Structure 1
Amino acid sequence: MIQEAQFSRNQRAPSPNLKIKKDHKSQQFSSLNTSHQSLDQQYQYPEEGKLLNFIIEIEELQQKSIFNLKLISFSLEDVQQKLAITDDPNNSQLRRQWQYHKHYYQEFQYSLKNENVHLGNSLQNQKISQNLRSRMVDWMIEVLGNYIDTTTNSTFFRSVSIMDYFLLKSNTQYSDQHLHLIGISSMFIATKLEDIYHIPLEDFVQRVGHNKYSILKVKDMEKIILETLNYEITFPTILDRLYHLFYQCFSLNDDPNLQNILEASIFILKMCLHDYSINFFHANTLAATSFFYSIRDFVIQKDYENQEQILDQFINRITQISEIDLFDFNQCQVKLKDLINSFKKKYPDLQNLNKFS
């Protein structure tokens, strides 16, 4: 799994809630391949195994360096054959990518295609208000944010997914008064599934739940959730689908600028989980639009040349990888932009997204 990086607010994209710190245009990014040659010249592979999925061409224009972003697609098999990474110990990054693809990614990709769980109408048979669900999502950010040394973003997204899936599948009709216990038990299941050192049950009872529910109550609800879902709780989350997109576009590149794009996308997805209505879009569509929104803000902020051409390349690539309709993608973009612009006004009391991100 892609290693997560700590993400501060001043690193986000330049939308109202997302700001990526603007570097000087003449700065050369260490993990981006740069070339003074024209594109019709033979491509030279970078040294030290730096596989790049897009190229920056530097041109002098009005005494300034203008970066031109290009997206280039490589299959791992082609790279392995051309660079002989299995025989070259110096290509450590390419070897790592190949091993990741061989031992993990193919199985993960199969799971993405065959385990589709749509959670957009999770409250249709419940008496739980959309507003209280939004508060629960925000509270989960706070709870798990206080265990930052042992939990990850995966734990949060798994917690919300388990809660929504349970509410969708349950034949029992729950009301607002039950959501607190359901949320606690969902987080307890998620931390045991995702974290190496999971949050102790005693912490959920005492520190998180303030002894409102006993250990027996939390365990009973855990059992109800697992049996209702037939123990099917390992399905891909929306975060997994974002990681899939990032890997397909940028491979295992750990360049700070790309990591900022990834973290901005995660922030947007957390924002989306607060809003019940936008989750009617398929998870693939939400992940794709959030990812593209962050890329677009980054490209605009960096003032790249030929921005429209660059963004069109990314749209084509992202929709192809996600296997989504362009119309749905554009519709979701409109909804997403509206949510980002209106989030603080729509949810003025929900502060944990900014506090713990």
Structure 2
Amino acid sequence: MIDTVTGPGTLPFAVQLKALTDLEGRYQPKLSGLRIIESASDNGLRMTSRLRDLEVKDLLTLSRFFGFSSETFSLAISLLDRFLSVMKIQPKHLSCVGLCCFYIAVKSSEENKNIPLANDLIRISQNRFTVSDMMRMEKIIIEKLNWKVKAPTALRFLRLFHSYVQEQLGADSEKKLSLERLETQLKACHCSFVFSKMKPSLLAMALLRLEVEDQRDPEERDQLSEAMESLQKLLTIRDGDLVCVRELVGKCLAEYSTAKCSRPNSQRLRWTISGRTARQLKHSYYKITHLPTIPESAC
């Protein structure tokens, strides 16, 4: 039976937080496996962090093409990192693994009417494997992850933390801390392998902390800082850990804002779509909006 994590719903914040933090460790990628990927030489024979990042960017582009939710993308990356950390795969199999993780996330998070056919997904992403290949790979992925699919992602923590700050400061907090902007920043972080080794809750906290420090109004910054300190105590996160991850997030977003950086979703796949597939796709699929640019001031 597939192990799933239910949505936060209307439970009290403390209950939601405990439920997610208790499960967080069960869904973490295996650190030893990630270190092997990190240390691998980029010779085309072994899985590397660079190849992983390229695959994540392709999945982000595909997610935007279909108009899937941020939760679907975050879950797909969680599945991908967890599988790569327990299985030594060859680079030639990465596209199949990535697309299968993506499809599992789609079927777990999206409404049935929005789920594309596997064959159409293969065709649109321009992969050459078959639906049978995908079915076999999906089975392997789910079994290797012990049927634990719907993980407590960094996005879920980010949304929960944002709602906590809103409760502390009132409705005006939404104007000070844009959830849409924070989710955009998180997607940029997902495209960097370094954050695969971090707890989702810590990454979400670091994103919020960096955004709070970027507030120009001293009074607003102080109010937000108080709420963040209260949240940090609830999570028992050490100052040193938060500062370290915050600096990495800042560096990632700074690189993202430069012209040299391949910004998430700025790449365009060359779609190959049959007439039948084109007729089945929703009109919104063709209205691809770019991932909002993160201003340099945010970094």
TM over 0.5: yes
Q: In the superposition, relative to structure 1, how do residues 279 and 162 fare at CA in structure 2: closer, same or farther (>3 Å)?
A: closer
Identity across the alignment (%):
18
**Would the alpha carbon gap of residues 334 and 182 (structure 1) be closer, same or farther in structure 2, given more than 3 Å must change?**
same
Match for 1:284 among 195, 198, 201? 201
Mapped contact 2:24–2:200 kept (Cα < 8 A): no
Alignment of 1:190-229 (within 5 A): 190-197=105-112, 198-208=115-125, 210=126, 212-229=128-145
The answer as to whether partners of 1:154 and 1:194 remain within 8 angstroms in 2 is yes
- The structure-2 alpha-carbon separation of the partners of 1:256 and 1:321, relative to structure 1 and needing over 3 Å to count, comes to closer
Residue 243 of structure 2, aligned match among 314, 317, 330:
330
Mind listing any 5+ residue stretches in structure 1 that lack a counterpart? Answer: 1-96
Could you say which residue in structure 2 is the equivalent of 1:341? 254
| Equivalent residues in 2 for 1:216-295, closer than 5 Å | 216-251=132-167, 257-258=174-175, 261-295=178-212
1:173-215, Cα deviation, whole Å (9 max, x unpaired): 212211111000001100000001323212212212x250110
Return the offset for 1:294: 2.2
Does the 8 Å CA contact 1:128/1:174 hold for their aligned counterparts? yes
Q: Which residue of 2 aligns with 1:136?
A: 55
Task: Report how far residue 274 of structure 1 moved.
Answer: 1.4
Q: 1:255 to 1:283 in 2, by over 3 A?
A: same
CA contact (8 A) 1:111 1:236 kept: yes
Paired residue for 2:78?
A: 161
Deviates more, 1:126-135 or 1:104-113: 104-113
Q: Which residue of 2 aligns with 1:51?
A: none
- Say yes or no: does 1:305 pair with 2:219: yes
C-alpha distance in structure 2 between counterparts of 1:175 and 1:165, whole Å:
16
CA deviation map 1:124-159 (0-9, x unaligned): 3452121111111111111010111xx200000000
2:95–2:127 CA contact under 8 A, matched in 1: no
Greater fraction of residues in strand: 1
Q: Does 1:178 align with 2:102?
A: no
Segments of 4+ in structure 1 off by > 4 A?
A: 251-256, 344-347
TM-score (norm 1): 0.62
Greater helix fraction, Structure 1 or Structure 2: 2
Partner Cα separation in structure 2 for residue 284 and residue 156 of structure 1: 17
User: Quick one: distance in 1 between partners of 2:91 and 2:18?
Assistant: 37
Q: Retained in 2: the 8 A contact 1:292–1:314? A: no
Structure 1 residues 114 and 256, CA gap change in structure 2 (3 angstroms): closer
- Cα distance in 1, alignment partners of residues 72 and 177 from structure 2: 20
- Aligned partner of 2:11 in structure 1 is 101
Q: How many residues align?
A: 251
CA deviation digits over 1:331-355, x for unaligned, max 9? 1122222222223559633451693
> Is 1:118 aligned to 2:28, yes or no?
yes
> Structure 1's 238 and 120: CA in aligned 2 closer, same or farther, altered over 3 A?
farther
- One of 146, 163, 171 as aligned partner of 2:65: 146
Deviations 1:204-248 (A, max 9, x none): 12212x250110001110010001111111220111111221122
User: What is the CA distance between 1:305 and its match in structure 2?
Assistant: 3.2
Q: Which has the larger radius of gyration?
A: 1
Q: Secondary structure at the match of 2:111?
A: coil
RMSD: 3.0
Q: Would you say the 8 A contact 1:120–1:282 is kept in 2?
A: no
Distance 1:180 1:343, change over 3 A: same
* Cα distance, 1:262 vs structure 2: 1.3
Preserved contact between residue 104 and residue 138 of structure 2 (Cα < 8 Å): yes
Alignment-derived partner of residue 42 in structure 2:
none
- Rounded to whole Å, the distance in 2 between the matches of 1:119 and 1:139 is 21
Query: Do 2:75 and 2:151's aligned partners in 1 also have CA atoms closer than 8 Å?
Result: no
